């Protein structure tokens, strides 16, 4: 089984009505049909990925060879047994290297139908496959006393991995665009209790890039609407006719006491005979795949959930990355920082704005930003509260009269937040994390909102790349809590990349 989203499990064999309803010959034919009936777009998409991977690997490996040895015909010395030494041209080494890399990409399922288009999971598989094939080749060279040129390997790995991820990112953008136009979608029917199906439908609709189109629901009510645009097409006593009527590609089961385990299993067999996928939605949401582990026990699929880690080597690695990256950024961006400071100063008033925020474990710190408002902005806040676009917890206002003309530009592209790199270097903040809250916001936190303070706040985060100021309070909290529960260094790198894109477009901030 495969974990989708962070709470949904895709089961390889679907479900049915009665065991005796399927003959052995029909089951064999159904299994053959299910294995060969791949959606045309999925097969074509995987072929495109395979061709892209081939081009990337060849360019990376042979490009590294060209940069390291030039156009000379270099050879690799391989010591043999009893003095039977021999050499092999690096061109042949590059061919072997490329083939091994491509086999690893295939073997690790980087182009699997349940992986493509899933973001960090897809990128993580690319990284795992690439790093491990390099590791195996390096270990083999060490054990056999083969002195491979280190520069050759050190050029090929990062270049190839970056190009592979860039290729997948481009193809994901293309796929997302196609899905926004109604193409390459999986037609899904929700099956289960009405309230549970409503919850699953809302969660599925949050992620448009997943390509799931909910075309109907089968609940105990039998009619009406689940949500606007999602009709209830039948009750739990008429599952198969309802599903067949809308030509569903997959069924998402949200749970129901009216469907017993034996009936659920038999229903799966019937879906299998119709080549319809089964997806089981777990009640636990906002839990990423790496924290979920399936364990079969006596025929049951038990799901173990790892708790998030806030200490240890992974957290130390995050801090080391923050220190190195923020220090380098401050050095590289120092001309930009100086130029922005001069522009803000020319607008009247100080260049920097200091504000008390709440960080890790509720500790207060002074957040530093470029000033984007008039000097007495805090004194004018009370008069503007009635006009807030927020919900009483977070002050937000389109066309805030306190924002200066220069400040509006800085905010649109988040240039006003660049001085927070100093907060990161000091240890008050992280590059990626929850939004740094004000003290008055923390005082209004509900019980579980306090979990946002289990990690350091960030200059950017999921809230930054998912709507910025356009987010509601509830969505902001949900995204922050999701990050706290599921953070990883790989995820941080993806968020940083998405942040750069958001800043270039300048949407959602005001």
Task: Specify whether the CB–CB gap between 276 and 14 falls below 8 A.
Answer: yes
* Residue in this structure with the two tokens 């960030």, named with its chain if needed: 458
The answer to whether residue 35 sits within a structural domain is: no
pLDDT value at position 307? 78
pLDDT in tens, 38-55: 467 888 889 999 999 999
Distances in whole angstroms, Cα of residue 286 to Cα of each of 17, 166, 170, 181 = 32, 27, 26, 27
Which pLDDT belongs to residue 11? 42
Mean pLDDT by 10 residues, the chain (510 residues): 40 37 43 46 88 95 89 72 68 90 91 76 88 88 81 89 92 86 87 90 81 90 90 89 89 89 88 87 72 73 77 88 95 94 87 92 94 75 60 61 83 88 95 91 86 92 75 79 86 87 64
Range of the domain at 375: 313-505
Domain membership of residue 462 (yes or no) is: yes
Domain assignment present for 377: yes
The reported pLDDT for the residue numbered 18 is 37
Residues 160 and 194 in one domain: no
Q: Are residues 15 and 48 in the same domain?
A: no
CA distance 126 to 476: 30
pLDDT the model gives residue 57: 95
Are 349 and 396 found together in one domain? yes
Instruction: Specify if 36 maps to a domain.
Output: no
Domain end, chosen from 281, 305, 329, is at: 305
Domain boundary among 255, 283, 305: 305
Residues 80, 130 within the same domain: yes
Q: For Cα atoms 96, 99, 101, give the angle at the middle one, nearest 5 degrees.
A: 105
Any long-range contacts for 95-98 (C-beta under 8 Å, 24+ apart)? 97/61, 97/137, 97/156, 98/57, 98/58, 98/61, 98/62
Q: Is 380 helix (H, G, I), strand (E, B) or coil?
A: helix
> Domain check: are 369 and 473 in the same one?
yes
- Tokens representing 373 are 């408002």
Same domain for 217 and 169, yes or no, is: no
What spatial distance separates the first Cα and last Cα of the chain, rounded to whole Å?
43
Do 50 and 189 lie in one domain? The reply is no
Cβ-Cβ contacts under 8 Å for 205 (sequence gap 6 or more): 214, 227
Q: Is 396 exposed, middle or buried (0-12, 13-18, 19+ CB in 10 A)?
A: middle
Query: What number of other Cβ atoms are within 10 A of residue 325's Cβ?
Result: 16
Residues 320 and 257 in one domain: no
Contact 466, 477 (CB under 8 A): no
Q: Is residue 34 part of a domain?
A: no
Q: Are 359 and 450 in a shared domain?
A: yes
Are 256 and 355 members of one domain?
no
For residues 281 and 394, state if they share a domain: no
pLDDT digits (tens, 9 = 90+) for 223-274: 889 999 999 999 988 888 889 889 888 999 988 888 888 888 888 889 888 8
For residue 480 the two structure tokens come to 């922050």
Residue 162 lies in a domain: yes
**Is 32 within the bounds of a domain?**
no
User: What per-residue confidence (pLDDT) applies to 251?
Assistant: 92
Cα–Cα distance between 316 and 288 in angstroms, integer?
21
Residues 211 and 276 in one domain: yes
Looking at the domain assignment, is residue 285 inside a domain? yes
For the chain, count helices (H), then strands (E): 17, 17
Domain boundary among 177, 197, 221: 177
DSSP state, 108? T
Q: Would you state the pLDDT for residue 467?
A: 66
Number of domains the chain contains = 3
Biggest distance spanned by C-alpha atoms of the chain: 89
């Amino acid at each position: 089984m495969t974990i989708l989203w962070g709470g949904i499990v895709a089961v390889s064999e679907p479900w049915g009505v009665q065991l005796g309803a399927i003959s052995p010959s029909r089951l064999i034919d159904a299994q053959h049909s299910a294995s060969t009936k791949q959606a045309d777009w999925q097969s074509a998409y995987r072929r495109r990925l395979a061709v892209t991977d081939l081009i990337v690997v060849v360019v990376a490996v042979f490009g590294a060879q060209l940069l390291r040895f030039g156009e000379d015909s270099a050879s690799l010395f391989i010591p043999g047994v009893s003095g039977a030494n021999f050499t092999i041209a690096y061109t042949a080494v590059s061919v072997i290297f490329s083939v091994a890399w491509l086999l690893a990409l295939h073997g690790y399922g980087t182009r699997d139908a349940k992986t493509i288009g899933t973001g960090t999971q897809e990128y993580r598989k690319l990284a795992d496959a690439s790093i491990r094939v390099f590791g195996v080749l390096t270990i083999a060279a060490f054990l056999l006393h083969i002195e491979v040129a280190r520069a050759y390997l050190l050029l090929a790995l990062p270049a190839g991995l970056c190009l592979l991820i860039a290729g997948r990112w481009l193809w994901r953008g293309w796929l997302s665009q196609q899905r926004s136009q109604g193409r390459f979608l999986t037609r899904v029917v929700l099956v289960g209790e009405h309230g549970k199906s409503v919850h699953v439908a809302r969660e599925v609709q949050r992620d448009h890039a997943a390509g799931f189109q909910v075309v109907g629901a089968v609940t105990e009510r039998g009619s009406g609407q689940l949500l606007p645009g999602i009709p209830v097409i039948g009750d739990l006593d008429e599952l198969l006719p309802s599903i067949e009527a809308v030509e569903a590609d997959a069924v998402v089961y949200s749970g129901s006491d009216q469907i017993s385990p034996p009936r659920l299993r038999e229903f799966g067999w019937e879906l299998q005979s119709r080549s319809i996928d089964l997806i089981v939605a777990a009640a636990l949401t906002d839990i990423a795949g790496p924290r979920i582990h399936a364990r079969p026990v006596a025929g049951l699929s038990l799901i173990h959930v790892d708790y998030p880690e806030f200490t240890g080597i992974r957290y130390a690695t995050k801090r080391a990355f923050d220190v190195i990256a923020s220090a380098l950024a401050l050095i590289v961006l120092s001309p930009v920082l100086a130029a922005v400071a001069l522009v803000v100063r020319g607008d009247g008033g100080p260049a920097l704005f200091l504000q008390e925020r709440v960080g890790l474990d509720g500790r207060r710190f002074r957040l530093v930003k470029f000033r984007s408002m008039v000097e007495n902005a805090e004194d004018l806040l009370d008069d503007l509260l009635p006009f807030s676009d927020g919900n009483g917890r977070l002050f937000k206002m389109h066309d805030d009269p306190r924002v200066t003309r220069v400040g509006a530009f800085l905010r649109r592209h988040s240039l006003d937040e660049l001085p927070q790199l100093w907060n990161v270097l000091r240890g008050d903040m992280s590059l990626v994390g929850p939004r740094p809250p004000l003290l008055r916001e923390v005082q209004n936190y509900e019980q579980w909102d306090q979990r946002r303070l289990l990690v350091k706040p960030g200059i950017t985060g999921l809230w930054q790349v998912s709507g910025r100021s356009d987010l509601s309070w509830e969505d902001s909290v949900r995204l922050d809590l999701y990050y706290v529960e599921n953070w990883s260094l790989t995820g941080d790198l993806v968020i940083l990349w998405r942040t750069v894109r958001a800043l270039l477009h300048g949407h959602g901030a005001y």
